[in-house]
Amino acid sequence: MRSVFMGTPEFAVPSLRALAEVTTLVGVVSQPDRPRGRGLSLQPSPVSAAAGELGVPLLRPASVRTPESAAALAALEPDLLVVAAYGKILPPALLALPTLAPLNVHASLLPRHRGAAPIAAAIRAGDAETGVTIMVMGEGLDTGDMLRQRTRPIAPEDTTGSLTVALAELGATALVEAVTAIRATGLQPIPQDERRATYAPRLEKDDGRIDWSRDAASIERMVRAFAPWPSAFTTLEGRTLKIVATRLVAEKRPAAPAGTLAVRGRDLEVTTGDGTLAIVTLQPEGKKAMPGAAFAAGARLAPGARLV
CA atoms of 80 and 100, how far apart (whole Å): 6
Residue 139 has pLDDT above 90, yes or no: no
Residue 33 has pLDDT above 90, yes or no: no
CA atoms of 17 and 51, how far apart (whole Å): 9
Residue 37 has pLDDT above 80, yes or no: no
Give the side-chain half-sphere CA count within 13 A for 188. Answer: 11
- pTM for this predicted structure: 0.93
Tell me the residue length of the chain. 308
Residue 144, class by beta-carbon neighbours within 10 Å (0-12 exposed, 13-18 middle, 19+ buried)? Answer: buried
Residue 39 has pLDDT above 90, yes or no: no
CA atoms of 234 and 283, how far apart (whole Å): 10
Helix (H) or strand (E) segment spanning residue 54 = helix 46-54
Percentage of the chain beyond pLDDT 70 is 99
Picking from 47, 237, 200, the residue whose alpha carbon sits closest to that of residue 114 is 200
Please name the residues in contact with 152: beta carbons below 8 A apart, sequence gap of 6 or more.
129, 130, 131, 163, 166, 167, 170
Residue 150 has pLDDT above 80, yes or no: yes
Residue 5 has pLDDT above 90, yes or no: yes
64-95 confidence digits (pLDDT tens): 999 999 999 999 999 999 999 998 889 999 99
Return the minimum-mean-pLDDT range out of 2-6, 32-36, 107-111, 161-165.
32-36
Q: What is the pLDDT of residue 149?
A: 97
- Interstrand relation of 114-115 and 199-200 (parallel, antiparallel or unpaired): parallel
Q: What is the pLDDT of residue 47?
A: 97
DSSP string, 77-111: --SEEEEES-SSPPPHHHHT-SSSEEEEEESS-TT
